[in-house]
Amino acid sequence: MAEMRLADQHVTADGRLTTVGAAALIGIKHDTLKNWRSQGKGPPHFRAGQVWYRVDDVLDWIDEQERRCTEGH
């Protein structure tokens, strides 16, 4: 299978998401993710013809945000 679907977004066989796909997985607008990226915030990304996010990196980043939130309470 060349790709699968996650959060109604295409995921490449090697687990890459576009900005739109990563934003959908996080639950934010893609413009917000673009702004975060320009500020050095948000999940790790890389450029290879376009901006990509790895699904595992996005999920790890979400988990970290949850831990930070729960540790503060």
Per-residue pLDDT of the chain in tens (73 residues, 90 and over written 9): 345 556 556 788 899 999 999 999 999 999 999 999 999 999 999 999 999 999 999 999 999 999 998 886 6
- Give the pLDDT of residue 2: 46
How far apart are the C-alpha atoms of 6 and 13, rounded to whole Å?
A: 12
How far apart are the C-alpha atoms of 69 and 49, rounded to whole Å?
A: 34
**Predicted model pTM:** 0.82
How far apart are the C-alpha atoms of 3 and 6, rounded to whole Å?
A: 10
Listed by start position, the domains of the chain span: 3-71
For residue 20, report the phi and psi dihedrals to the nearest 5 degrees. Answer: -60, -45
How far apart are the C-alpha atoms of 51 and 15, rounded to whole Å?
A: 13
- Give the pLDDT of residue 31: 97
Short-list 54, 63, 61, 71, CA closest to 15: 54
**CATH fold for the domain made of 3-71:** Arc Repressor Mutant, subunit A (1.10.10)
